[in-house]
């Protein structure tokens, strides 16, 4: 449990990473612009690549949030996909309300699936979601409150390690079952889809797509800066200390429950933001996002990149998802072997992930 991942020394390596990160950021930012070039142009970036990169950026935010909880606070959450999905559902509810009377059934207020299921009026928990600000508040608030309740119950009872992992996995499993039900009022099996517009912009235009792309990129950069600040602060040091020896920190007089709770809740909120940015880009959200396998896949992104490094989480999310996108079309049968192999490889031979590998080379 007390696997130590030493923070990177403020050295050449760190400087190199910072520069690399900045270059990567600029390259990413250039993608929608290059997409506008004529298709024959050698620097043209295809629509597919832009949209898939937009997805990966959202995954990177999720990985970042998970790294904050696992890499720094030692909370291995196997349920972060649930926070991601809840943020996505909050955004999805807003998008559904914005469809208005343009649905198949043409009902002025009710989304199609509610008309289909025989709802007479909007359930109370759907009220307010027609306002963008309210919906965005819910994007962070719903995952945050769930993390607060779950974390408070768990950390107060000193549930740590694998027990906590199992509990979080059971949480996302229970939520998945719940969201599959039609009478929950969240579209059941099919979830939400057929979104029309966001902030007055039709979603199917390239302007809206690049807007969402940049919003995700800014969110990623912002989340990275926030997490770097936090982990470098005194609070961050205490958090790392809790990860490495919770009892000792407790005996030194720190309230470890509150420290962990803050990190866990913030992490859940970031995951919610990631989900909210993800949904309008892929155009659908359904209960499958709650599946435990999704959450554990996110864990492996962080592990592959190198946990407790923040940069590693982002790197891992891009690497693994890049591999996944390539392999699932090139050799679909092989992908699960590669993913499973990654789990084994990283835990046995690469405990510090790709970042550890790079750092080893640089030193």
Partner 1 sequence: MKNTLLAFLLLLAAALPARAQDAFVAALPGLAGNFNAQAEAVERLGALADPRAIPVLRALTDGRLLKRPDNTLVIREGTTTTDVLTGAATDAAGTEALRINNRVRVALRGALGRLQLVSPDPAERLAAAEAVFRTRSADNVPLLDAALARETVPRIRDRMAIALAASRLMASDPAAKLLGVEALGASASPEARAVLLEARAANPDILPQIEAAVAAIDRRLAVRRAAETFFQGLSLGSVLLLAALGLAVTFGVMGVINMAHGEFVMLGAYTTFIVQEACRGIPWLLPWSLPLSVPAAFLVAALCGAAMERGLIRHLYGRPLETLLMTFGVGMMIQQSVRLVFGAQNREVLSPPWMQGTLLLPFDIPVTQNRLWILAFSLVVLGLTVAAIRFTRFGLEMRAVTQKRAIASSMGIRTGRVDALTFAFGSGIAGIAGVALSQIDNVSPNLGTGYIIDSFLVVVFGGVGSLAGTLVGAFGLGLVNKILEPWAGAVLAKVFVLIAAMIFIQRRPRGLFAQKGRAAEA
Q: What residues line the site for partner 1 (CB under 8 A)?
A: 1, 3, 76, 153-154, 157-159, 161-163, 165-167, 169-171, 173-174, 177-178, 181, 247, 292, 296, 299-300, 303, 333, 336-337, 339-344, 346-348, 351
**285 strand-pairing partners:** 192
We find the least distance from the C-beta atom of residue 25 to partner 1, in angstroms, to be 29
We find the least distance from the C-beta atom of residue 298 to partner 1, in angstroms, to be 12
We find the least distance from the C-beta atom of residue 343 to partner 1, in angstroms, to be 2
We find the least distance from the C-beta atom of residue 21 to partner 1, in angstroms, to be 26
Q: Which residue number, 173 or 262, has a Cβ lying nearer to partner 1? A: 173
Distance CA 257, CA 2 (A): 18
Q: Which residue number, 54 or 308, has a Cβ lying nearer to partner 1? A: 308
Q: Which residue number, 179 or 195, has a Cβ lying nearer to partner 1? A: 179
We find the least distance from the C-beta atom of residue 222 to partner 1, in angstroms, to be 29
Q: Which residue number, 196 or 250, has a Cβ lying nearer to partner 1? A: 250
**313 strand-pairing partners:** none
Q: Which residue number, 202 or 341, has a Cβ lying nearer to partner 1? A: 341
């Amino acid at each position: 449990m007390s696997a130590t991942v030493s923070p990177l020394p403020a050295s050449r390596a760190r400087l190199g990473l910072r520069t690399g990160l900045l270059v990567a950021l600029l390259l990413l930012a250039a993608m929608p612009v290059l997409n506008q070039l004529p298709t024959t142009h050698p620097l043209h970036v295809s629509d597919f690549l832009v949209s898939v990169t937009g997805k990966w950026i959202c995954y990177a935010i999720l990985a970042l949030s998970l790294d904050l909880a696992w890499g720094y606070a030692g909370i291995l959450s196997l349920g972060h996909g649930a926070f991601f999905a809840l943020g996505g559902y909050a955004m999805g509810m807003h998008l559904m309300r914005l469809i208005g009377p343009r649905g198949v059934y043409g009902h002025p207020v009710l989304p199609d699936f509610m008309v289909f299921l025989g709802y007479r009026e909007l359930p109370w928990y759907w009220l307010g979601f027609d306002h963008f600000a309210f919906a965005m508040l819910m994007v962070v608030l719903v995952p945050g409150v769930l993390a607060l309740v779950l974390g408070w119950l768990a950390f107060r009872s000193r549930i740590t390690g694998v027990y906590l992992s199992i509990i979080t996995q059971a949480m996302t499993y229970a939520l998945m079952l719940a969201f599959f039900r039609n009478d929950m009022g969240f579209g059941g099996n099919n979830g939400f889809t057929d979104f029309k517009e966001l902030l007055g912009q039709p979603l199917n235009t390239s302007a809206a797509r690049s807007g969402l792309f940049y919003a995700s990129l800014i969110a990623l950069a912002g989340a990275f800066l926030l997490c770097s600040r936090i982990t470098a602060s005194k609070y961050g040091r205490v958090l790392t200390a809790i990860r490495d020896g919770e009892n000792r920190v407790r005996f030194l007089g720190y309230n470890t429950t509150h420290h962990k709770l803050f990190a866990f809740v913030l992490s859940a909120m970031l995951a919610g933001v990631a989900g909210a940015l993800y949904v309008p880009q892929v155009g659908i959200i359904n209960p499958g996002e709650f599946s435990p396998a999704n959450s554990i896949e996110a864990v492996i992104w962080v592990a592959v990149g190198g946990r407790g490094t923040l940069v590693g989480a982002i790197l891992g999310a891009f690497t693994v998802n890049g591999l996944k996108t390539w392999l699932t079309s090139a050799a679909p049968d092989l992908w699960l072997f590669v993913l499973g192999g990654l789990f084994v490889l990283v835990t046995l031979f690469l405990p510090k992930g790709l970042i550890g590998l790079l750092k080893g080379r640089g030193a």
